[in-house]
Amino acid sequence: MSVTGSLIVISGPSGTGKGTICKSLFQRRPDMFYSVSATTRPPRAGEVDGIHYHFLGKQLFAEMVERDEFLEWAEVYDNMYGTPKIPVTEALQKGRDVLLEIDVQGALKVKSKAPWGVYIFIVPPSLQILRSRIVSRGTDSMEVIDKRMAKALGELAHLHEYNYVIINDVLEDAVSKVESIINAEKCRSHRYQLFGNADVNQPLVTENVPE
C-alpha cells in the first residue's frame, strides 16, 4: 500500500487519559482523521452512534471479524472493540494523518502490520493517580476498577514496544507533546523529494503527495 499520511497510535492502560488527550488534540488538529471504532458495548450517556463508536451487536461484530474487515480487534473488559480497516487505509492513501486511540493489545497488533506507524504510550504519573482518575471518571464499579488496575501493571511492561512515552500529568503539556510528535513525523526525510535541476526560484524539496 502506498501511504502518504502518518498513522499515529495513542495507547496505554485504561484511565491514563487517552480519550481526554485525543479530545483536546481534536480542538488543535481537526484536520486529522480520527478513526471511529466499532464496539459491542452499549452506548454511555451522551455517546452518539457513528461519532464516538459504531455500536454493533455481537453477531454483526463477529461477521465483520469473519470478513476480515478490522485492522485489529480485541476483547477489552468483556466487550469487543475493533478498528474498521477501510476508512483508515483510504484516509492514509489520501494523505491524511490518521489517529487511532486503542488499547495495548490492539496497538501491538497494528504495529505488527504497520511497523512504520508512530506508537505513543500514555502513562499516568503514578498508580495512585491512575486509580483516583478512574474513580473520578465515575464509569466503573469498584470491582471493575480493581480489574483495570491489575491489568494496567501488565500493560505498562509493554512500554519499550512503543516509539514514544508521554506521562499524562498536566493535560495541556501531554497534548502539546503528542502534537510535537505529529509535527516531527511530518518532517521525516522519507516524506520529501529533492528536485534534481531546481530552478533558483522553485522550492528545493517537495512533500510526497498522493497520486
User: Residue 83 CB, nearest distance to ligand 5GP (Å)?
Assistant: 4
Distance CA 80, CA 157 (A): 23
Please report whether residue 131 would count as binding ligand 5GP according to CB under 6 A. no
Q: Per CB under 6 A, which of residues 15..54 are in contact with ligand ADP?
A: 15-20
Tell me the chain's radius of gyration from C-alpha atoms. 19
Please report whether residue 147 would count as binding ligand ADP according to CB under 6 A. no
Please report whether residue 156 would count as binding ligand 5GP according to CB under 6 A. no
User: Residue 20 binds what, of ligand ADP, ligand 5GP, none (CB under 5 to 8 Å, by partner type)?
Assistant: ligand ADP
User: Residue 102 CB, nearest distance to ligand 5GP (Å)?
Assistant: 4
Which residue, 78, 82, 99, is CA-closest to 151? 78
Please report whether residue 155 would count as binding ligand 5GP according to CB under 6 A. no
Per DSSP, the three-state class of 158 is coil
CA distances from 191 to 156, 172, 204 (A): 32, 28, 14
Q: Per CB under 6 A, which of residues 12..71 are in contact with ligand 5GP?
A: 14, 18, 37, 41
Three cell numbers written together for 6:
502518518
CA distances from 105 to 13, 91, 97, 118, 202 (A): 10, 23, 22, 16, 46
Q: Which of 33, 40, 88, 103 binds ligand 5GP (CB under 6 A)?
A: 103
User: Residue 103 binds what, of ligand 5GP, ligand ADP, none (CB under 5 to 8 Å, by partner type)?
Assistant: ligand 5GP
Listing DSSP states for 13-30 in one string gives STTSSHHHHHHHHHHH-T
Please report whether residue 102 would count as binding ligand 5GP according to CB under 6 A. yes
User: Residue 78 CB, nearest distance to ligand 5GP (Å)?
Assistant: 10
Choices 12-20, 27-35, 57-65, 192-200; region in contact with ligand ADP by CB under 6 A: 12-20
- Name the residue number minimizing CB distance to ligand 5GP: 106
Distance CA 52, CA 24 (A): 14
CA distances from 77 to 40, 58, 74 (A): 11, 15, 10
Residues at the site binding ligand 5GP, with contacts judged by CB under 6 A = 14, 18, 37, 41, 72, 74, 76, 81-83, 101-103, 105-106
